[in-house]
């Protein structure tokens, strides 16, 4: 009787494992190919939208530690190829230890880019630091920025500012390009509609080359050579996609190690995210091993409304922010702006 029960148990276990992980079929590859075409088309359809982020994170490097939590609201609009716009509204709180000295930070404001110019509005800035210099510098800069729009000159290089690489490509064009150059190869099926994939460097280069031609911005040989260098530097990596019946991504997981022999460093990236309609929830981990070890951990939720469009305009009353004048003021002992608080 025990042998029969054991045989039944082993049979059930074998069936369960085979259902969860198996070799891919042509149908599995077709599922991933359809997903790639679907997601590529979205990159040209969504030229404006909103993303609300709510999360927290931590950083460790060289004995320094910091943590941060709060909300970020992002709006973007790239419907005009010559004037991509964005707005980032921040409400963040953090604390940490830097070079043995503690500090707390609260910041609330908005960063806006319009017509290749950067604007900053600081609604609130609170710095409580055991280092008097840090507190004084942060409070002085905050005192000049708070309560008004500031244009930060030279923050965006107009010659390098670009729009989406698909600005001149139609959804039908990019569908054809993606269909002809499916660069994600299924190497394993790890669950229901869940696939481990690898990147085909040759097909990825052809995809980018064809996309550049269609967009009237041809990829350079240097661009294409960078793909080979990137794939080579990855070494062994894990990339997992879960796709539903509508070719939508429902779960994404990756574990990547990038080596840099010149600096004797390894960069490790782990992402684990679940997507449900207009929301994404997950975590991101970045670890640097080597002479200067560091780690970053982020987790949270993002609500994205890619059909929404917000009017983003340049502030009419923005003043040019002159950091040099502030630094000169420090050296000359000029009194602090009204309302500035220093918490050493």
Question: Is residue 282, in this structure, part of any structural domain at all?
Answer: yes
The encoded tokens of residue 339 equal: 């309302």
Mean pLDDT, the chain, rounded, equals 83
189 and 42 share one domain: yes
Is residue 181 within 8 Å of residue 174, measured between CB atoms? no
pLDDT for position 328: 59
Q: For 234-262, what is the mean pLDDT?
A: 90
Q: Give the residue from 8, 103, 37 showing the smallest Cα distance to 65.
A: 103
194 and 121 share one domain: no
Q: How many domains does the chain have?
A: 2
DSSP string of 138-204? HHHHHHHHBTSEEE-TTSS-TTT----TTTT--HHHHHHHHHH---EEEEEEEETTEEEEEE-HHHH
Angle value at C-alpha 97, between 96 and 99, nearest 5 degrees: 150
298 and 272 share one domain: yes
327 and 180 share one domain: no
Q: Please give the residue range of the domain that contains residue 322.
A: 85-162+314-344
SS3 state at 47 = coil
Beta strands 237-243 and 249-260 are antiparallel
pLDDT for position 215: 83
267 and 342 share one domain: no
91 and 213 share one domain: no
Question: Is residue 229, in this structure, part of any structural domain at all?
Answer: yes
pLDDT for position 87: 97
192 and 276 share one domain: yes
The per-residue pLDDT for range 132-141, each reduced to its tens digit, is: 676 677 777 7
Q: Is residue 230 within a helix (H) or strand (E), and if so which, with residue range?
A: helix 221-234
Question: Is residue 284, in this structure, part of any structural domain at all?
Answer: yes
Burial class (CB in 10 A: 0-12, 13-18, 19+), 67: middle
Beta bridge partners of 61: 64, 294
Work out the pLDDT band at 157, boundaries 50, 70, 90.
low
> How far apart are the C-alpha atoms of 59 and 215, rounded to whole Å?
39
SS3 state at 17 = helix
Torsion of CA 320, 322, 325, 330, to 10 degrees: 120
The encoded tokens of residue 336 equal: 């602090």
131 and 260 share one domain: no
């Amino acid at each position: 009787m025990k042998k029969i029960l054991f045989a039944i148990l082993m049979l059930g276990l074998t069936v369960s494992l085979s259902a969860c992980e198996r070799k891919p079929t042509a149908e599995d590859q077709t599922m991933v190919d359809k997903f790639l075409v679907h997601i590529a088309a979205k990159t040209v359809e969504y030229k404006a939208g909103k993303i609300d982020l709510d999360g927290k994170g931590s950083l460790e490097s060289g004995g320094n530690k910091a943590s941060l939590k709060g909300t970020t609201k992002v709006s973007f609009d790239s419907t005009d190829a010559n004037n991509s716009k964005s707005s980032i509204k921040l409400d963040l709180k953090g604390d940490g230890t830097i070079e043995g000295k503690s500090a707390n930070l609260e910041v609330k404001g908005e960063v806006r880019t319009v017509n290749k110019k950067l604007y900053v509005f600081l609604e609130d800035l609170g710095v409580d630091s055991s280092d008097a210099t840090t507190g004084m510098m942060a409070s002085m800069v905050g005192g000049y920025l708070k309560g008004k729009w500031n244009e930060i000159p030279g923050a965006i290089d107009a010659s390098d500012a670009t729009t989406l690489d698909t600005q001149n490509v139609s959804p039908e064009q990019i569908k054809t390009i993606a269909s002809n150059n499916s660069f994600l190869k299924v190497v394993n099926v790890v669950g229901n509609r869940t696939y481990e994939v690898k990147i085909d460097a040759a097909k990825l280069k052809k995809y980018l080359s064809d996309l550049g031609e269609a967009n009237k911005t041809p990829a350079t040989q240097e661009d294409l050579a960078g793909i080979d260098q990137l794939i080579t530097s990855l070494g062994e990596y894990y990339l997992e996609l879960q796709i539903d019946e509508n070719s939508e991504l429902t779960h994404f997981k990756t574990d990547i190690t990038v080596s840099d022999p010149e600096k004797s460093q390894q960069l490790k990236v782990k992402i684990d995210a679940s997507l449900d309609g207009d929301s994404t929830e997950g975590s991101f981990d970045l670890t640097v091993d080597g002479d200067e070890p560091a780690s970053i951990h982020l987790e949270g939720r993002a609500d994205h409304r890619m059909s929404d469009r917000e009017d983003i305009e340049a502030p009419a009353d923005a003043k040019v922010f002159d950091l040099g004048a502030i630094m000169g003021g420090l050296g000359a002992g000029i009194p602090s702006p009204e309302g500035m608080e220093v918490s050493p």
